[in-house]
Structure 1
Amino acid sequence: MDLEKMSNENKLDLCKWYFKVGFVFLPFIWAVNAIWFFNEAFRKPAYDEQKQIRKYVIFSGIGAILWGLVLTAWIITFQVNRVAWGQFADDLSFIIPLGS
């Protein structure tokens, strides 16, 4: 989809929709929203809807970063403690590695 062909009102609606969809535990959508609308929010000449788009872009970026940090912390914690957690960790694992 080409943002240049969309009206400013439709851009705002799409940006807002992506932001709301990100709350359904889809932080990837927030990352896409922040990247896709970054130029519209910060680099284009000012227009009426730009202030709201900027708000959604900032919150989408913050949400994606926070989700990334939480996911990274969980991955590190699980990998470090997998052996010590025993059967509980095996129950959480999709693939159980061989060895320790």
Structure 2
Amino acid sequence: MDLEKMTNDKKLYLCKWYFKVGFACLPFLWTVNVIWFFNEAFRKPKYDEQQHIKRYVIFSFIGSVIWGIIILSWIIAFQVNRAKWGEFADDISFIIPLGVP
């Protein structure tokens, strides 16, 4: 998508939409929002909608970092405790590794 061809109103709408949809447990959309709109928010000359875009980009970044920490914490906890959790870990595993009782 080429943001240069979009009007400022459409850019703000799209940035806001990605931010809101990120709350539906889709934190990768917040990351996409930050990547796509970082230049619009911080490097382009000032325009009316830029302040709102900047706010959505900052909040999207914060949300992405928080979700990243949560997901990384879960991965570490699961990998460390998988064998101890026994059948429960098998039930929530997508792939059951061989060789670990």
TM-score (norm 1): 0.98
Deviation by residue 1:41-83 (Cα, 9 ceiling, x = unmatched): 0000000000000000000011011101100000000000000
Q: CA deviation at 1:19?
A: 0.4
Unaligned 5+ segments in structure 1 are: none
**Equivalent residue, structure 2, for 1:59:** 59
**Equivalent residue, structure 1, for 2:84:** 84
Q: What value does the CA root-mean-square deviation take over the aligned residues? A: 0.5
Matched pairs, number: 100
Unaligned 5+ segments in structure 2 are: none
TM-score (norm 2): 0.97
The percent identity for this pair of structures is 71
SS in 1 for 2:19: helix
Q: 1:5-84 residue pairs with structure 2 within 5 A?
A: 5-84=5-84
